[in-house]
Amino acid sequence: MFALVPCAGLGARSGADRPKQYVCVGGAPLVAHTLKALAQVDRLTATLVVLSPADDMFRTLMPDFEGPTGWLAHCGGDTRAQSVAAGLVALLKHGALQEDWVLVHDAARCLLQPAWVDRLIDACQADEVGGLLALPLADTLKAEHEGRVVSTVPRSGKWAAQTPQMFRIGLLRRALAAATESVTDEASALEALGLRPLLVPGSVENFKVTYPEDFVLASRLLGTRT
């Protein structure tokens, strides 16, 4: 069982002067908190981080990551799907098997806790498809056009997808190979094959740092854990 962290994005919406995964939050680069949590999950054999080919920051900021359970691959693509697909090939080169589980996790979900990962593994390891952490939607949803509400969208039965998302390597490779632009996460690639990933309750704290104000919130929440 392996973790794969796509870490090749630029994070343009963050307003930062560098890729958001390298912004210092709570005394360390954002991605460092993510990888620390994954390192505490005993059932993970190793974590592979997928970097862009030109990335020269990760090794500088995290010189101690690489080792028997920490792997790097400079094979990131222009999209998340491309980066994950390339990372799966890199896992196979490291000795992973097609039938092994892989947990894909956003580098920018830096508040991850090992207990949430264990909950996902417990729920999915006997499942034929796999699944993902997610939260039932609580807010009223509005459809918008040109900055104005055009309708209220029923929230019943709708969940907000999180990560990790846990699937077999071979199945996920097949799904991503057929992915179109409508595929925005691993689960949607599986859905396009007609499969139904399992929804496993996550946590409201497992949010993805995206906008400038998210860094402040993440730093505050990390501070409550020390």
pLDDT tens, residue by residue, 37-94: 999 999 999 999 999 999 999 999 999 999 999 999 999 998 999 999 999 999 999 9
Does the pLDDT value for residue 12 go beyond 70?
Answer: no
Mean pLDDT computed over 203-207: 96
User: 2-16, 100-114, 163-177: lowest mean pLDDT where?
Assistant: 2-16
Classify residue 135 as exposed, middle or buried by CB count within 10 Å of its CB (0-12, 13-18, 19+).
middle
Domains identified in the chain and CATH numbers? 2-133+161-223 (3.90.550.10)
- pLDDT higher at 150 or 181: 150
DSSP state of 211: S
Which of 30-52 are b and which e, b meaning 16 or more Cβ less than 10 Å from the residue's Cβ? Answer: bbbbbbebbbebeebebbbbbbb
| pLDDT at residue 48, as a whole number | 98
16 — pLDDT class (breaks 50, 70, 90):
low
Confidence of residue 18 (pLDDT cuts 50, 70, 90): confident
For residue 134, give the H/E element and its range.
strand 130-136
- 108, 30 contact by CB (below 8 A): yes
Residue range 95-117, pLDDT digits in tens? 999 999 999 999 999 999 999 99
